[in-house]
Structure 1
Amino acid sequence: MKKSNFGKLLLLSLFVPLFWVGCSQSREKITIVGSSALQPLVEQAGNDYRLAHMSSNIVVQGGGSGTGLSQVQAGAVEVGTSDVFAETQKGIDAKKLEDYPVAVVGIVPIANKGVGVKNLSVEQLSAIFTGKIKNWREVGGKNQPIIVINRSRGSGTRSTFEDLILNGKDAVNSQEQDSNGTVKKIVNSTPGTISYISFPYANDQNIQKISIDHVKPDNKNIPTNKWPLWSYEHMYTKGKPNKATAAFIKYVLGKKVQTELVPKIGYISIHEMKVSRDSQNKVTKIGK
């Protein structure tokens, strides 16, 4: 090899690694932590966004709404996702956070297929999750002990479920899990179990979705509050977001995500709602 060519190759070998290091350092990292209920939407939106914005680096993690809110308040992440309003959480100063509701998600009680029950009243659900009803035969099912699987404390899904179903009563002591996906797997494989998950995870034919007062858990029933178990999905930032984070939130709130991706994954666009709900769970007709 000629000396001049060797020198060119040597320079190139030194330049290429430096080029890639420079590119990786210039990528705009957005870390998003919190609600496992919102995680499928944010992950897919992030993947789609990266394809069109090669300088972006969006990292999405679960951990629960409480974790998301505490992490964004501490400035450890750019976005904290939550199923609940920040002002309802102890230790969170909602005045320092910016709230971006990006979707609505339904919550559905689920049971193992073998329990023999497809419908429960609100009163029966409350009695099961407070430990008053202990056997499936008490609600028309098999003679089988009821095993309650709860979400961990700090879960926005749990908070919403307990606010709307238990109405201030204490939940029974039970096994707790920190994600929708884990809950679904346990209910699927464990006889006698009951729990609840968000709609986007409830696409498994091996679990029994439970109707409430003979209303089916269907996204069509949520915009009018006919199906009452639902919550907003929030993206919170600490104060005004930086330019990169603001651009991604704008993308999530945009037409493409709201009209295509949101319903595809199993959420409801905030623009489809006929009612609104405040932090005290008061429901109001929109436009009235």
Structure 2
Amino acid sequence: MTSKKGLPPIVYIAGSLALAGLGYAVYNKLNTAPAPIVTTGDRTSTTQVAFDVPSTVPTGTIVKIGGATSMVQFNKALKTGFEQKFPGVQALTLASSSNRGLADVAAGTIDITGVSRELTAADKDRGLVAVPIIKDKIAIVVGKNNAFTSGLTSAQVAKIFTGEIKNWSEVGGKSLPIRPILRPIDSGTHQSFQDLGLQEKNFGSGGNFKVLERDATTPLLQALGNDGIGYATYAQVANQSTVRVMAIDGATPELSGYPYRRTLAYVYKHPPNDAVKAFLGFTTSREGKELISQQSQNK
């Protein structure tokens, strides 16, 4: 009895599965939003994203940018650079908060939003895509006339902001109630600091706790007085003459051992429109990265 010619069944099946897998990979690549690739480290991120650096941008192009107040300085620098490089275009910027900006992008009322927190699964389900631009630190600050001049441990910080530690004498200072100053709940910095600094607990409430009505750093600094303690983007407070940035676990924000680190990003809704492509192409270009780096160093 002679055997039929051809591939053995097991080889035929394996080959079919391989071809099917290749076809799915190609389909998946063509139908998946391009994801940012971010380098690690403590210095400015050299982000690589799937946006081409524009050589020209049509006159009359308008890109609307909103979101986190911690992104204001980067928004302004990139707006100026973008408009100077491409005459006749406009970048309209208005800061609110990370959550408000994400809602506006999802609704299509703005094109891009700055965020100071990670995207949630719900954010991603709405088609939102983050483009990380820089590593950032959250500073813990007190008023310059606060009698407490030592540093804190991260455990002490957590207990202060959860309300377990209520008096400066409990951390080695004078007997004076501690007054934690909190940003609004929709603030990205508020949410990031809860994730990074509160050890999976919630912020305290009542008593000496004060919650700001809007997400802005200036009102927070003004509210500190001689007994308050708050948190803010380091770049916004490093050169402030009215406050003192505290060392945490023996490290100040410019040092590698500092514990409160996060990533700032721009977010758009997939698929990006032409204005988004142009602005993020400029932002992730060599020129855009230099502007971001300059702002991070001008603390």
Instruction: Indicate which of 183, 186, 191 corresponds to 2:223.
Output: 186
Inter-partner Cα distance in structure 2 for 1:63 and 1:145: 31
Does residue 211 of structure 2 align to residue 176 of structure 1? yes
Inter-partner Cα distance in structure 1 for 2:211 and 2:154: 21
Amino acid in the other structure paired with 1:181: T
Q: Would the alpha carbon gap of residues 40 and 153 (structure 1) be closer, same or farther in structure 2, given more than 3 Å must change?
A: same
Q: How far has the Cα of 1:59 moved from its partner?
A: 1.1
Inter-partner Cα distance in structure 1 for 2:297 and 2:272: 24
**Mapped contact 1:50–1:58 kept (Cα < 8 A):** yes
Q: How far has the Cα of 1:194 moved from its partner?
A: 0.4
5+ residue gaps, structure 2: 1-58
Inter-partner Cα distance in structure 1 for 2:291 and 2:222: 25
**Mapped contact 1:66–1:155 kept (Cα < 8 A):** yes
Q: 1:128 — aligned with what?
A: 160
Q: How many residues align?
A: 233
Inter-partner Cα distance in structure 2 for 1:131 and 1:114: 22
TM-score, structure 1 as length reference: 0.76
Q: 1:264 — aligned with what?
A: 294
Instruction: Indicate which of 182, 205, 212 corresponds to 2:248.
Output: 212
Does residue 135 of structure 2 align to residue 100 of structure 1? no
* SS of residue matched to 2:63: strand
Q: How far has the Cα of 1:94 moved from its partner?
A: 4.0
Q: How far has the Cα of 1:86 moved from its partner?
A: 1.8
**Mapped contact 2:248–2:259 kept (Cα < 8 A):** no
Amino acid in the other structure paired with 2:294: K
* SS of residue matched to 2:244: strand
What's the RMSD between the two structures over aligned residues? 1.9
Q: How far has the Cα of 1:95 moved from its partner?
A: 5.6
Instruction: Indicate which of 114, 127, 142 corresponds to 2:174.
Output: 142
User: Which of the two has greater helix per residue?
Assistant: 1
* SS of residue matched to 2:95: strand
Q: How far has the Cα of 1:256 moved from its partner?
A: 2.3
TM-score, structure 2 as length reference: 0.73
Q: 2:78 — aligned with what?
A: 45
* SS of residue matched to 1:170: coil
5+ residue gaps, structure 1: 1-25, 269-288
Residues 151-207 of structure 1: CA deviation (Å, up to 9, x unaligned): 1111111111111111221211132221223212322xx220100000111121321
Q: How far has the Cα of 1:124 moved from its partner?
A: 0.5
User: Stretches of 4+ moved more than 4 A in 1?
Assistant: none
